[in-house]
């Protein structure tokens, strides 16, 4: 498998309320189609690392290369375009717009990319919802869906622009065990189809199902 992401000598500092060295000389690489789980106690730096890898946080030392593109140092406009084309996000809190339907939420990333007609975008969004077994809820306001259903819609939204990497921060953190199993199965299947998955999780059983576990303690990778 080809290397899809490489981070070298990452350092991250917080300065409020006092100086704190949250990531200390972190280096890692991830291969195409690999399912990786980042684990560690609260405050270990795992979510901070994910935000750096996702290009959402650019205030760090070191370098990050994704898909042979060095993203470190790119302008915010260039990073936004790169993210929208290459990275899908799934968060613990799904961040769906509750007054919009499931379908409308899923369509948003493609509308922002503006490469296809509205009809093409809607057709593709239905396909992504069908992949999540949520197409029958396409026209229901997302605020009326259950937590597990909302998270599946959020995954469909993350997949809308066919990203090469899906990054998930505690994707099962607010779900019961049954819905957690569904979300894990979806992510695992995506990895078998060639998507690269990088997740942060407190759920050890979830982490054990990944191809590789990266453990972070006090801002350093220990295993």
In tens, the pLDDT along 58-100 reads 999 999 999 999 999 999 999 998 998 899 988 776 678 999 9
* Nearest residue to 181 via CA among 152, 153, 144, 158: 152
| 194 has a pLDDT exceeding 80 | yes
* Domains located in the chain, CATH noted: 3-221 (3.40.50.300)
Phi, then psi, of 212 in degrees rounded to 5: -150, 140
Whole-model pTM: value is: 0.88
How many CB atoms lie under 10 A from the CB of residue 138?
18
Output the pLDDT for position 30.
Answer: 96
| 197 has a pLDDT exceeding 90 | yes
Give the tens place of pLDDT for each residue, 118-161. 899 999 999 999 988 899 999 999 999 988 899 889 989 998 98
**What's the per-residue H, E or C state across 148-194?**
HHHHHHHHHHHCCCCCCEEEEECCCCCCCHHHHHHHHHHHHHHHHCC
């Amino acid at each position: 498998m080809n290397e899809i992401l490489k981070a070298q000598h990452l350092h991250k500092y917080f300065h409020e309320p006092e100086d704190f060295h949250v990531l200390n000389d972190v280096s890692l690489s991830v291969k195409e189609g690999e399912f990786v789980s980042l684990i560690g106690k609260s405050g270990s730096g795992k979510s901070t690392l994910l935000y750096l890898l996702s290009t959402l946080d650019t205030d760090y030392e070191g370098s990050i290369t994704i898909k042979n593109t060095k993203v470190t140092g790119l302008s915010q406009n260039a990073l936004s375009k790169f993210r929208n084309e290459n990275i899908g996000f799934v968060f613990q809190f799904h961040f769906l717009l509750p007054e919009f339907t499931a379908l409308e939420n899923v369509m948003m990333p493609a509308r922002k990319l503006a490469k296809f007609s509205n009809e093409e975008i809607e057709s593709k969004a239905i396909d992504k919802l069908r992949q999540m077994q949520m197409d029958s809820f396409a026209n229901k306001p997302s605020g009326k869906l259950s937590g597990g259903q909302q998270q599946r819609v959020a995954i469909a939204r993350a997949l809308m622009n066919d990203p090469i990497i899906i990054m998930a921060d505690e994707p099962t953190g607010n779900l019961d065990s049954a819905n957690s199993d569904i979300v894990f199965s979806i992510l695992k299947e995506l990895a078998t189809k060639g998507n690269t998955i990088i997740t942060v999780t407190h759920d050890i059983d979830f982490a054990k199902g990944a191809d590789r576990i990266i453990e972070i303690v006090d801002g350093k990778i220990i295993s």
